[in-house]
Amino acid sequence: MLRFFPQKDKYIKEAAEHEFDPSLPIPQHIAIIMDGNGRWAQNRRLPRVAGHKEGMETVKKITKHASHLGVKVLTLYAFSTENWKRPNEEVDFLMQLPVDFFDTFVPELIKENVQVKVMGFTDSLPAHTQEAVKRAIDQTKDNTGMILNFALNYGSRAEILTAVQALYEELSAYGEALPELTEDMLGTHLMTGFLPNALRDPELVIRTSGEERISNFLLWQIAYSELFFTKALWPDFDSALLEDAIGSFQQRNRRFGGLKTKEEEE
């Protein structure tokens, strides 16, 4: 007979795999594809939206832990340009979530010195979602600690296309004397362009739920990111798993197309 083993046992084992060493450098910019809310709810015979609600609690916990560890930018993929394909009821719930999230969490974010930012096509969000987002950005704008960057109605192909269109407009004003288009110019026009240059590209990308794909997230910026996939569903993701992902990152040899450094060969 088939026996159901709660998935939790599986990732407790995974969590022990990579030891996190607080004395080693940690990624300054971590980006997370928060996936698996629907399955988490379905496993409990709950409506999918119950998973989104629980996922919001995980966002709070992980934000605090990342900030305490000294992460400089935490980018969270919350809603993609493709997620509008979902049933209206689920989309409506997801558009209400930022309102509830910021209402309850902004005072803590202020206490934690965390600054809220949002990247995505925010103009197409419902008015109440836009207002909640604007309010949170404004209320936390003087904070100087970790940047909590939500990708909301974000899609990387549309991001790149919009940046190229904007550059095309700007450059067409030059007529014949077109300046050279550089990586830095494109980088500045992307939605991560508000970040200082050294922080624009995530050093570590985490995806939960066992899916091993990028789903239109930060296509330009992840050229040399380290990727970490865990089977844990987003509502079950916790501080130990975040440390596990960072531990895995710490053990990797990042070569950027070059060769191992001399010290590493010894």
Q: Which is catalytic among the residues 35, 201, 236, 244?
A: 35
- Residue placing its CB nearer to ligand IPE in the complex, 35 or 244: 35
Q: What are phi and psi of 103, to 5 degrees?
A: -55, -40
Tell me, what amino acid is at 184? D
Amino acid at 9: D
Beta-carbon neighbour count of residue 151 at 10 Å? 27
Contact indicator for 236, 14 with CB cutoff of 8 Å:
no
Tell me which of 83, 143, 216, 238 is the catalytic residue.
83
x/- string (CB under 6 A) for ligand IPE, residues 187-226? ----------------------x-x-x-x-----------
> Position of tokens 């493709």?
82
- Print the binding letters for residues 35-54 with Mg ion: x by CB under 5 A, - otherwise: x-------------------
Is 252 assigned a ligand-binding role in the annotation? no
Residue 143 annotated as catalytic: no
Mark 22-41 with x for binding to ligand IPE (rule: CB under 6 A) and - for no binding.
-----------xxxxxxx--
Q: Which of residues 3-42 bind Mg ion (CB under 5 A)?
A: 35
The token pair at 163 is 């940046």
Compute the least distance from the CB of residue 159 to ligand IPE, in Å. 14
83 is catalytic: yes
Tokens of 169: 């407009």
Q: How many residues sit in the footprint of Mg ion (CB under 5 A)?
A: 1
* Closest residue to ligand IPE: CB criterion: 38
Is 236 a binder of Mg ion (CB under 5 A)?
A: no
Cβ-defined contacts of 53-60 (< 8 Å, 24+): 53/97, 54/235, 55/234, 55/235, 56/97, 56/100, 56/101, 57/235, 58/34, 58/234, 58/235, 58/236, 58/237, 58/238, 59/34, 59/101, 60/101, 60/105, 60/108
The CA–CA distances, whole Å, from 149 to 12, 24, 171, 217 equal 28, 24, 29, 13
Whole-number minimum distance, CB 141 to ligand IPE, in Å? 25
Q: In the complex, which residues of this chain contact Mg ion (CB under 5 A)?
A: 35
Q: In the complex, which residues of this chain contact ligand IPE (CB under 6 A)?
A: 33-39, 77-80, 83, 94, 209, 211, 213, 215, 234
